[in-house]
Amino acid sequence: MIAQPLTITGGKLVLGSGEPVAGALRCEGGRIVAIGDVVPQVGDEVFDAGGKLVTPGLVDLGVFAIDKPAFHFGGITRAALMPDQGPPLDHPARVRFAAQSGKPDMWVHPLAAATRGLEGNELAELALMRDAGAKAVATGRGWIADSGVMLRLLRYCAMLGLVVVTHAEDAGITGSAVATAGDVATRLGLPSAPAEAEALAVARDIALAELSGAHVHFRQVTTARALDLVRAAKARGVKVTAGVTPAHFILSDLELVGFRTFCRMSPPLRQDADRKAVIAAIGDGTIDVISSGHDPRGPEDKRLPFADAEPGMAGAETLLPLTLTLVRDGVIDMARAFELLAANPAKLLGVEAGRLEMGAEADLAIVDPARPWIVNSDKMAAAAGNTPFDRRPVEGRVTALFKGGARID
């Protein structure tokens, strides 16, 4: 079904650079056809943005569940689904089914499992899964420990033109750790691993990316040492990119005091120096993507002893307002915020979205960046409200959302 032509007037357009500019935008046939000084045509649906921001719909790279109510609340029009499903996305039929699962009001982009069963041993049918709709390949929640397997994966993906999304923690070091080694973990008596486990994994995968010519995207880089490695690799021209979730630039391991299982993450929360290093890396361009890591888990997974609780958080609804804290703090500007939230993840997935430009798909959000609200885990739209940001006052709310130029209610 083709949406009625749409003209959005009276808004401030968040373009690829600079401050938001007053203007209008017209969509037809599901794509943006005019930007700037636009006059509605006969038969257009006209939407008055009322002075609010007109932005690209968010592209959330690496969610663990399709949770439409939460995505729509958060302004997410596209979500890249991690292969850690039951069963894993390691077969073309499963990838094809996942790619259809968001219709008609959501784009779901499956990430193909790098190895059969996500076991890290035998490569999955990557070419067939690409043809079935996979937009990238992912190692899932774990790291591929066998360097030979990882090198074969990267060489194959370089040939197929697919980005490899990897989890950067050396499992031989982390083992069953649930926290970062340091004063907090020691005081609480929690199984912990040194933060260097991340840097070791990043160092190896950078070396293999350089050797293979493949593009590696580190889904979360959360430590100063690992960020330094990514920064240096980029300077050498290695095809690496890095992401992070708001938890790791807002929270530190001090949040674990009281055994707060909603703060049980993977990778775990780091010390404050690493948190500050993440903010600096967002500011200087080392980090390319901010994603939600959306992983809704109910009380049966979270209301347990800390070491037994499952990691993860329901992040889709808070992704935008928490990222906007960086704008208010002067770390980044508004254009850069939506580059991190939309343009860069869309580019990694190879989809024509994430930017307000001619010819792009008309996935749009109307955003009131100053609208205050309070995160309430009991009232979240997510399948489960396992957020470490419960009761936190935030600013920034999506007031209208469009997919392919059609309003999402």
Structural domains of the chain, count: 1
Measured between alpha carbons, how far is residue 264 from residues 104, 251, 261 in Å? 34, 11, 5
Neighbours of 20 (CB within 10 A): 20
20 in any annotated domain = no
11 in any annotated domain = no
CA distance 84 to 90: 9
Check residue 16 and give its pLDDT: 86
306 in any annotated domain = yes
409 in any annotated domain = no
How many whole angstroms from its chain centre is CA 404? 21
CA 257, 260, 262, 263: dihedral to nearest 10 degrees?
Answer: 20
294 in any annotated domain = yes
Structural domain boundaries enclosing 116 = 57-355+372-393
* Residue 150, SS3 per DSSP: helix
Check residue 2 and give its pLDDT: 63
Check residue 113 and give its pLDDT: 98
Check residue 384 and give its pLDDT: 83
45 in any annotated domain = no
177 in any annotated domain = yes
What φ, ψ does residue 128 adopt, rounded to 5°?
Answer: -65, -40
Measured between alpha carbons, how far is residue 56 from residues 10, 15, 37, 245, 334 in Å? 16, 9, 18, 19, 12
Using left for φ > 0, alpha for ψ between -120 and 50, and beta otherwise, residue 154 falls in: alpha
25 in any annotated domain = no
pLDDT per residue as tens, the chain (409 positions): 467 999 999 999 999 888 999 999 999 999 999 999 898 999 999 999 999 999 999 999 999 999 999 999 999 999 999 999 999 999 999 999 999 999 889 999 999 999 999 999 999 999 999 999 999 999 999 999 999 999 999 999 999 999 999 999 999 999 999 999 999 999 999 999 999 999 999 999 999 999 999 999 999 999 999 999 999 999 999 999 999 999 999 999 999 999 999 999 999 999 999 999 999 999 999 999 999 999 998 888 998 999 999 999 999 999 999 999 999 999 999 999 999 999 999 999 999 999 999 999 999 999 999 999 999 998 998 888 889 999 999 999 999 999 999 999 8
- Residue 282 belongs to a domain with what CATH number? 3.20.20.140
Residue with tokens 């399709």: 66
Check residue 307 and give its pLDDT: 92
> Number of C-alpha atoms within 13 angstroms, CB side, residue 93?
1
